[in-house]
Structure 1
Amino acid sequence: MTSNRPSIRPVPARPREDWGLFGPDSPTWKVWSAPTALLAFQRSIVVESFDPFLAAAVHDQNGVRYNATRRFDRTIQYFLTVACGDSRAAIEASEILMRVHAKASGTEPISLQPYSANAPESQLWIHITGWQSNLLCYERYGPGKLSAAEEQCYWEECRIAAELQTCDPADVPRSRAEVREYYAAMRPRLCVSDRSRTLIRYFLNSQRSIAGTGLWAGSHLMSTATIATIPRWMRQLGGFDQPAWLDAAVVPAARAAVKIAGQPLAARTTLKMMAPSALPVMEQVIRRQQPLRPETLTPSQARARFGRSELRPAV
């Protein structure tokens, strides 16, 4: 019998080693540690579901159907750790993700082609939807647009973060225009299936018995604002469209909620409710915890220092 209780990976308490891959003054740190990240996570995992290969990988592993909290929690923990955690935590999170994804393989039922969650094209899709969703939600519901220099740096840092996944960093877009080109190139591949519809339903309107009270309440409160950021054609294809007037009406309410959620107590409470495994990283951000070594590392430097040798990519 499968338990509906959240299965949370414990995060050991230890001193912060360094500033991680980007540091507290980076646009990545600014965008990914904002309250809008929760909306962005919901958006990104909905958009990801339109890739039939990724939808099959997620659905067939049963994790979301039996424990939606674990999926949401671990996704937020991974991305927040890479963006704002120290380099040891980022490498450890990357290696855990690789091992988990290695188990997700099979046959995609529409094309009858093999799928693998570690396939570079699937990892690239996950990576870009995550980073683009965070910037979009930050702009719409948070402080607004980054400066031109900050945005350029954000996409450069997006490439750096891609080194922790199986995709080629050279394939990562370097600007907003290149992101649009990427989505246009991906559109013929995107579709909905019974699997993706099931996942979208779980992500937008989680069932309390599966998600737990925290994620169940949070997903329902956020879903209108999240849907408003998703392209109309995708919403219609997925069967979760909403009127244009609702898209506009939700903006001031979402901005007000995000402003409240930015307060330390509210941020801790919200994250503890929806993604408790990410809380230790957010605590470091909120407290501006100083590292043992005030430096940033490249992914290759971090992997050489903290990575397991058997999981390092061949040179």
Structure 2
Amino acid sequence: MRIHAPMTGIEPISGKRYSANSPETQLWIHITGWHSVLKAYEVFGPGPLTPEEETRYWAERAEEGIHHLLWTPRSNGAGMSYYVGSRLLSLASIALLPKWMRTLGHFDRPGIVDIAVAPPAKSLVWAFTRFDKAGLLRAAPFIAPMAGRILAQHIEGAPPARLETTTPTAARERYGMHGVSKAV
């Protein structure tokens, strides 16, 4: 996260701000990372997976990732506030997800739980923003320390150091990461 934190800027085609630590960028990185693992296995290993094996591979990776995000392990070293905060946030987050995604990820629950979660979640958001619009931003570092810092940096919208898009090769050269291997 620290390596990626300074990598922000304006994407020249859309003109929109980006951050290497944004959820969209992280999703892209993780998907291409898992795809690269699969591709390397197929090219350098025993060969292509069958369609059924590939479906299983993606389902297992998705389930593993979802469960980690929804139920952050206590042993990850992020502290008790992060552990408790992620557990509370997951209650509200699951309520927003479609049934098919819950079924796929093996974390569905009765609809009454979703209904019961909405009023307290709405009350907490109201309480944090009633008198101070940045209340949630101020609470974020206690619930999710790294995400809170990244969110603050993104909202503050500090201009990028350089208005340019950097290729992975140029970034490796610039940051002295010559030994980092390229994805397949």
- TM-score band, normalised by the shorter chain? 0.5 to 0.7
Q: CA deviation at 1:215?
A: 1.9
Task: Give the distance between the partners of 1:233 and 1:314, measured in 2 at CA.
Answer: 31
Which ranges in structure 1 are unaligned for 5 or more consecutive residues?
A: 1-8, 30-79, 85-126, 132-157, 172-184
* Equivalent position of 2:113 in the other structure: 246
Q: Which structure 2 residues correspond to residues 65-144 of structure 1 after superposition, within 5 A?
A: 81-83=20-22, 131=27
Select the structure of larger CA radius of gyration. 2
Task: Give the distance between the partners of 2:31 and 2:12, measured in 1 at CA.
Answer: 13
Residue 206 of structure 1 contacts residue 215 of structure 1 at CA under 8 Å; is this kept in 2? no
Deviations 1:219-271 (A, max 9, x none): 23222223332634246xx4x4321243355457656756757943421431x
Q: CA deviation at 1:205?
A: 7.3
* Equivalent position of 1:303 in the other structure: 172
Say how many residue pairs are matched: 158
* Equivalent position of 1:233 in the other structure: 103
* Equivalent position of 1:266 in the other structure: 136
Residue 81 of structure 1 contacts residue 278 of structure 1 at CA under 8 Å; is this kept in 2? no
Task: Give the distance between the partners of 1:19 and 1:241, measured in 2 at CA.
Answer: 38
Q: What is the identity percentage for the equivalent residue pairs of Structure 1 and Structure 2?
A: 24
2:90 counterpart letter in structure 1: S
Matching of residue 294 in structure 1 with residue 156 in structure 2: no
Residue 214 of structure 1 contacts residue 274 of structure 1 at CA under 8 Å; is this kept in 2? yes
Q: CA deviation at 1:166?
A: 6.7
Give the alignment partner of residue 19 of structure 1, picking from 9, 34, 50: 9
Select the structure with the greater relative contact order (CA < 8 A; seq sep ≥ 6): 1
Task: Give the distance between the partners of 1:163 and 1:243, measured in 2 at CA.
Answer: 30
1:241 counterpart letter in structure 2: D
Q: What SS class does the counterpart of residue 22 from structure 2 fall into?
A: helix
Matching of residue 214 in structure 1 with residue 81 in structure 2: yes
Q: Which structure 2 residues correspond to residues 49-64 of structure 1 after superposition, within 5 A?
A: none
Residue 18 of structure 1 contacts residue 291 of structure 1 at CA under 8 Å; is this kept in 2? yes
- Pairwise CA RMSD: 5.1
Task: Give the distance between the partners of 1:22 and 1:255, measured in 2 at CA.
Answer: 37
Task: Give the distance between the partners of 1:207 and 1:314, measured in 2 at CA.
Answer: 31
1:311 counterpart letter in structure 2: V
Task: Give the distance between the partners of 2:169 and 2:147, measured in 1 at CA.
Answer: 24
TM-score (norm 2): 0.52
1:226 counterpart letter in structure 2: S
